[in-house]
Structure 1
Amino acid sequence: MQSISKLEKNSTYLKVVWSDGEESKFNYLWLRDNCPTAHDKDSRHRMFNILEVSQNINPKKYNVSSDGKLEIEWSEGDHTSYYDPKWLRENCYTIKNKKKYISPYKLWDSSLEKNLETIQIEHDEIINSEAGLIKWLELLHYTGIAIVKNAPVEKNSGLKVLNRISHTRETFFKTPFEVINIPKPNNSAYTAHALRNHMDLPWFENPPGYQFLHCLVNSAKGGDSSAVDAFAVADYLRNNEKDIFDILVNTPLKFRDKDYTQEAIRSVHGTAISLTKDGDYNDIRYSIATLDALDCHPDQMDSVYKAHHRFGNLLHDPKFQINFRLEPGDIFSFNNRRLLHGRTEFDPNSGHRHLQGYYMDRDEIIGRLKYLKQN
């Protein structure tokens, strides 16, 4: 563990020189806000109110205590703080912001189709072992796709394995939603038609993070599945067609729920590609079926439509897309805000096709994985 070897007071921050030569700049307001006494010991919520001190707060006295802690007597509030050097080093934003960001995502293209076994996992392995659950969560988080094999084929039986992660997210489609061919459908998923690669529910402000399609029966002719890693497509554009990439990142498209059974109008503007604070891929929001009439500025409309057109074609390009057939007992699991999914047309007179669908928020997958990996 690194220790503090030198301290230097500046106008807005305290400079800490570490025993390995690294330097940290700790802002005074940040330090006061993160005093160990600021948090309730049980709930761990911050109880200290930073608004109760002035913006000019600074150390009246500061030193390294006999047990190696940073000790600060503040200019206001008759308060002294003691900071563990291990905590300071782990939370040092100076060092964090110097590090090169490395994306956790494993991008893929059509070559994955020849290696589908790398994204498959046995249902019982997840049910019976923490290692199996971690493997599934890692596939979902890093690769964005997993196919659970040999799950039961009874109705609602997907809930048992999903609850190994967390609770599902309820929508007006109910849980689970039934992907079958029905008369007078309120969604194209409930037909025998082909479905272009799409995300579900792009007209929600916060579309579900993950989707799980549990195949119960698939005896009809047709109805093969497709998937594309839209992060990989976005990355291709970023590296090869930056002008189109920038339009898709910066210009919101308009999506609308067109479900005639709903007594609500759900409409959202969202960019086709959104990025994280580190410039990594955060979300893809794309569905030709539920794109509303765009309302971009007249000077932008031509370039926006051409970017939308180019992106859409790449999202169906054979070099990026994989194709596979779901078997009874398969649970097609994927990041709904990264991976677009579709299917070929099927003949409802040739056999039955029945999937049950579930949604889960992305926080549940990532949060559960972090928890399991820390133990």
Structure 2
Amino acid sequence: MYSISKIKKNSNYLKVVWNDGEESKFNYLWLRDNCPTAHDKDSRHRMFNILSVSPNINPKNYNVGTNGSLEIEWSEGDHKSSYNPIWLRENCYTIKNKTEYISPYKLWDSSLQNNLKLIEINHDEIINSEEGLVKWLELLHNTGIAIVKNAPTEKNSAFKVLNRISHTRETFFKTPFEVINIPKPNNSAYTTHALRNHMDLPWFENPPGYQFLHCLINSAKGGNSSAVDAFAVADYLRKNEKEIFDTLVSVPLKFKDKDYTQEAHRSFHSPAITLTKDGDYNDIRFSVATMDTLDCNPEIMEKVYKAHHRFGNLLHDEKYQINFRLEPGDIFSFNNRRLLHGRTEFDPNSGHRHLQGYYMDRDEIIGRLNYLKK
């Protein structure tokens, strides 16, 4: 149990010494902004407006209360605040910012091919148990890939298992979208051609976080699936080819929606690799098919193309890629902003191939997992 041992007032923060020797610095504006009375008890939204006090607000009086709470009487506004020490410790930004960040991602390469059972989970396990749902979500979040086995093969039947997580994300492709060979296709997915490893919809400002490809029929010759952990490839470049990595992180590429059926022109600039506030990997945007004519500074065009060329070849290197064949009842589930996916060419005269696709935002996967675990 954490308790406050000592408090000292400084120019713009209170220094709190804890019973275990840790020290915290709590800025005065931060403390006033997070007074427990600042939030509505039902909506939990902050109702207090920090803009209504002066930047010079500070504790007129302060002490540790009889129940161990931090008690403050403020210099303005005729207001008193009482802070639970457990809440203060759990939200201490001093301690958080000196704690080493640990990535939740389990990076992988082609060695995963030897044990695909590690990423498989049975459909009914997810449907019938919270433990199964958590296992699926952990695979999706940590490993970036999962193959749900033995799902129904009726059209639209993936909704039931997907809704165990949350709602799907609608796009102009509709939900589900039909991955079949069609005449005069508006997307290369709707052909028999091989698809290079790619991210879906990189020309959106916020591409779908996760994708689910539900295999209904796969009797045609060819059409095998590929996947690569693009975070692992980026990590290799970060550690071994820094100039290439820095170029991919710093220079925006241009992506464009090339769907001729659309009545909207969509394009977006983004680096191939983006990072989080902790320096971890956020997303990877790579799609040869939908990268638009680059418009970066002429002085760096050669460098950008060489970095793109190197990255793209690594993303198709057998060292990093896994290959597998989807069977009817499989749902290939993956982080669309981490894992690139592709397929080999297939022969439509040798049989039929029909997948149904669904998207879901990353917030839904991570948010549901956090809720179930906490």
State the TM-score, normalized to the length of structure 1: 1.00
Question: Matched residues in 2 for 1:372 and 1:3: separation?
Answer: 29
- SS state of the match for residue 193, structure 1? coil
Question: In the alignment, which residue of structure 2 is the partner of 1:55?
Answer: 55
Question: In the alignment, which residue of structure 1 is the partner of 2:199?
Answer: 199
Question: In the alignment, which residue of structure 1 is the partner of 2:28?
Answer: 28
- Structure 1 letter corresponding to 2:280: D
- Structure 1 segment 1-375 matched on structure 2, within 5 A: 1-374=1-374
Residue correspondences, number:
374
- SS state of the match for residue 97, structure 2? helix
- Give the drift of 1:162: 0.2
- Per-residue CA distance 1:118-139 (angstroms, 9 max, x = gap): 0000000000000000000000
Unaligned runs of 5+ in 2: none
- Give the drift of 1:211: 0.1
Question: Matched residues in 2 for 1:265 and 1:76: separation?
Answer: 53
- SS state of the match for residue 298, structure 1? coil
State the TM-score, normalized to the length of structure 2: 1.00
- Structure 1 letter corresponding to 2:16: V
- SS state of the match for residue 239, structure 1? helix
- Per-residue CA distance 1:309-368 (angstroms, 9 max, x = gap): 000000000000000000000000000000000000000000000000000000000000
- Give the drift of 1:2: 1.0
- Give the drift of 1:264: 0.3
- Structure 2 letter corresponding to 1:167: H
Question: Matched residues in 2 for 1:67 and 1:130: separation?
Answer: 38
- SS state of the match for residue 88, structure 1? helix
- SS state of the match for residue 299, structure 1? coil
- Give the drift of 1:103: 0.5
- Per-residue CA distance 1:27-79 (angstroms, 9 max, x = gap): 00000000000000000000000000010000000000111000000001000
Question: Matched residues in 2 for 1:137 and 1:157: separation?
Answer: 19
Question: Matched residues in 2 for 1:166 and 1:102: separation?
Answer: 27
Which segments of structure 1 move beyond 2 Å, counting only runs of 4 or more? none
- SS state of the match for residue 299, structure 2? helix
> What do you get for the CA RMSD once the two structures are aligned?
0.3
